């Protein structure tokens, strides 16, 4: 696997897709696309194809693909839910009738591990997982997961409907896939999606009555990330804390004594050192702003036993940036990280977070940040 640093960064926002490139003089916006249109996710596959999910307010969710580095785009199909049979009464945990209609494209991941793969997993609201084996020309809803009776125990967190926001495909064996759902916990397939089991043992939910606190099916992982070369090492930024697994999600351990706040949305893990991970804390739940108006990044190098508070280059007064769940990324080298905020600020580090450089303070609200390989 390449360990080369990435010189290209994609930033999906409420008002378009921005491509930044690193030149001799530093990082600059090199290209824009879909100006004025809301995006939800951008994904770059191993061959460098770029997938951009648009969430057009009036016209629905669309999927666009570029095979020339973003110079030109072609519309692909968006995942489509099947018709709900007339005799099916599909209601969520709160008794609301679940629409069998795509509400949002919330995760894209390569379903194959070879360089040429055009197979994709797509996580969506209201809780369906889709697969395409032709680069998004056609999609199939994964029925084994959708038909699980436990799905009716899921509910929305922040949105009206539950959503799959994280898809981690095991690079050693693409049949093994972990997904995370707000709010539906973590689920594992070891047979390419033919069967699924809940795998959130050890997670704890403060927002539930005590007798339901450890129920795996109602956990709210905000994001789940796996170390690229140690895929059994997983980190979850959860609604009420940070959790870690070292055994491929068989068990989860809650991280204690987190400085500033255990609340947040984003997480990143080093591709080769699974003990090293980053988070961006915020005041929990009702406020969702940086503690004391100081924007910081938390870094652990010892598997969560301790954290450093990284603030060099980040605003330390009157900062009200919130970092959404897909808006922090790490490159293949493990040295470069970038994150973007709800108030349109974008920062990058090339030294694992020791120091940060502001790339913009006036982009549209940022929903997803991804390095190119």
Partner 1 sequence: MPQVIFTSALERHLSCPPQEVGGSTVREVLDGAFATNPGVRTYVLDEQGALRKHMTVFVDGDAVRDRDGLSEGVKPDSQIYVMQALSGG
Q: How far is the CB of 22 from partner 1 (least distance, A)?
A: 31
User: Considering the rule CB under 8 A, would residue 84 count as an interface residue with partner 1?
Assistant: yes
Q: Which is nearer to partner 1, 129 or 328 (CB)?
A: 129
User: Considering the rule CB under 8 A, would residue 56 count as an interface residue with partner 1?
Assistant: yes
Interface with partner 1 by CB under 8 A: which range of 94-102, 172-180, 223-231, 237-245? 94-102
Q: How far is the CB of 75 from partner 1 (least distance, A)?
A: 7
Nearest alpha carbon to residue 255 among 275, 273, 285: 275
Kindly list the strands in the beta sheet with 253-254, ordered across the sheet, starting from the edge strand earlier in the chain.
Answer: 221-227, 230-238, 241-245, 253-254
Question: What residues contact 226, with CB distance under 8 A and at least 6 apart?
Answer: 168, 178, 232, 233, 234, 269
Q: Which is nearer to partner 1, 102 or 258 (CB)?
A: 102
User: Considering the rule CB under 8 A, would residue 102 count as an interface residue with partner 1?
Assistant: yes
User: Considering the rule CB under 8 A, would residue 60 count as an interface residue with partner 1?
Assistant: yes
Options 24, 57, 115, 209; binder of partner 1; rule CB under 8 A: 57
- B/e letters for 275-292, b = 16+ CB within 10 Å, e = fewer, are bbbbbbbbbbeeeeebbe
Interface with partner 1 by CB under 8 A: which range of 97-105, 211-219, 262-270, 303-311? 97-105
Q: How far is the CB of 92 from partner 1 (least distance, A)?
A: 18
Q: How far is the CB of 77 from partner 1 (least distance, A)?
A: 8
Interface with partner 1 by CB under 8 A: which range of 56-64, 122-130, 229-237, 244-252? 56-64
Q: How far is the CB of 1 from partner 1 (least distance, A)?
A: 38
Q: Which is nearer to partner 1, 84 or 204 (CB)?
A: 84
User: Considering the rule CB under 8 A, would residue 101 count as an interface residue with partner 1?
Assistant: yes
- Region label for 128, one of left (φ > 0), alpha (ψ between -120 and 50) or beta (otherwise): beta
Q: Which is nearer to partner 1, 63 or 322 (CB)?
A: 63
Options 78, 181, 203, 296; binder of partner 1; rule CB under 8 A: 78
What torsion do the CA atoms of 124, 127, 131, 135 make, to the nearest 10 degrees? Answer: -10
User: Considering the rule CB under 8 A, would residue 87 count as an interface residue with partner 1?
Assistant: no
- The structure tokens 């893990």 sit at 269
- B/e letters for 236-262, b = 16+ CB within 10 Å, e = fewer, are bbbbbbbbbbbebbeebebbeebebbb
Q: Binding to partner 1 (CB under 8 A): which residues in 219-278?
A: none
User: Considering the rule CB under 8 A, would residue 80 count as an interface residue with partner 1?
Assistant: yes
Q: Binding to partner 1 (CB under 8 A): which residues in 119-158?
A: none
Q: How far is the CB of 196 from partner 1 (least distance, A)?
A: 23
User: Considering the rule CB under 8 A, would residue 46 count as an interface residue with partner 1?
Assistant: no
Taking the C-alpha atoms of residue 166 and residue 121, their distance in angstroms, rounded to an integer, is: 10
User: Considering the rule CB under 8 A, would residue 59 count as an interface residue with partner 1?
Assistant: yes
Q: What are residue 347's phi and psi, to 5 degrees?
A: -125, 155
Q: How far is the CB of 80 from partner 1 (least distance, A)?
A: 4
Q: What are 39's two structure tokens? A: 């995006």
Tell me how many residues contact partner 1 (CB under 8 A). 16
Q: Which is nearer to partner 1, 160 or 273 (CB)?
A: 160
Taking the C-alpha atoms of residue 174 and residue 167, their distance in angstroms, rounded to an integer, is: 12
Nearest alpha carbon to residue 262 among 245, 286, 295, 238: 238
DSSP 299-368: EESSTTS--EEE-TTS--SS------TBSEEE-TTSS-EEEE-TTS-EEEESSTTSS-EEEES-SSPEEE
Q: How far is the CB of 320 from partner 1 (least distance, A)?
A: 19
Question: What residues contact 261, with CB distance under 8 A and at least 6 apart?
Answer: 281, 282, 283, 284, 291
Residues in the chain: 373
Options 24, 25, 83, 209; binder of partner 1; rule CB under 8 A: 83
186 and 224 Cβ atoms separated by less than 8 Å: yes
Q: Binding to partner 1 (CB under 8 A): which residues in 14-43?
A: 36
Interface residues toward partner 1, by CB under 8 A: 36, 56-60, 62, 75, 78, 80-81, 83-84, 100-102
């Amino acid at each position: 696997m390449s360990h080369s640093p990435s010189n290209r960064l994609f930033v999906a926002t409420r008002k378009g897709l921005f491509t930044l490139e690193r030149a001799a003089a530093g990082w600059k916006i090199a290209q824009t696309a879909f100006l004025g249109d809301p995006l939800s996710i951008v994904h770059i596959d191993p061959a460098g194809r770029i997938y951009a999910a648009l969430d057009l307010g009036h016209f629905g969710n669309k999927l666009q693909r570029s095979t020339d580095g973003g110079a030109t785009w072609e519309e692909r199909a968006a995942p489509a839910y099947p018709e709900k049979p007339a005799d099916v009464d599909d209601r969520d945990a709160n008794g609301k009738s679940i629409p069998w209609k795509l509400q949002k494209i919330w995760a894209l991941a390569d379903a194959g591990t070879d360089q040429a793969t055009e197979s994709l997993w797509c996580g969506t609201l209201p809780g369906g997982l889709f697969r395409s084996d032709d680069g998004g020309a056609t999609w199939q809803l994964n029925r084994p997961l959708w038909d699980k009776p436990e799905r009716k125990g899921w509910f929305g967190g922040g949105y009206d409907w539950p959503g799959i926001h994280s898809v981690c495909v095991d690079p050693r064996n693409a049949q093994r896939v972990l997904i995370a759902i707000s709010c539906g916990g973590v689920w594992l397939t070891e047979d390419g999606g033919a069967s699924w089991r809940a795998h959130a043992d050890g997670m704890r939910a403060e927002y539930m009555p005590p007798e339901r606190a450890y129920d795996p099916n109602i956990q709210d992982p905000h994001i789940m990330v796996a170390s690229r070369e140690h895929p059994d090492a997983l980190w979850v930024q959860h609604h009420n804390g940070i959790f870690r697994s070292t055994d491929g999600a068989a068990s989860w351990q809650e991280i204690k004594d987190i400085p500033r706040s255990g609340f947040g949305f984003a997480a990143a893990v080093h591709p080769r050192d699974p003990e090293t991970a980053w988070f961006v804390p915020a005041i929990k739940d009702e406020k969702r702003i940086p503690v004391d108006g100081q924007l910081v990044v938390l870094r652990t190098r010892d598997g969560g036993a301790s954290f450093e508070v990284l603030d060099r280059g980040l605003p330390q007064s009157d900062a009200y940036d919130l970092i959404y769940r897909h808006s922090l990324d790490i490159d293949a080298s493990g040295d470069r990280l970038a994150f973007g905020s709800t108030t349109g600020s974008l920062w990058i580090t090339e030294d694992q977070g020791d120091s940060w450089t502001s790339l913009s303070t006036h982009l549209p609200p940022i929903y997803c940040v991804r390095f190119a390989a």
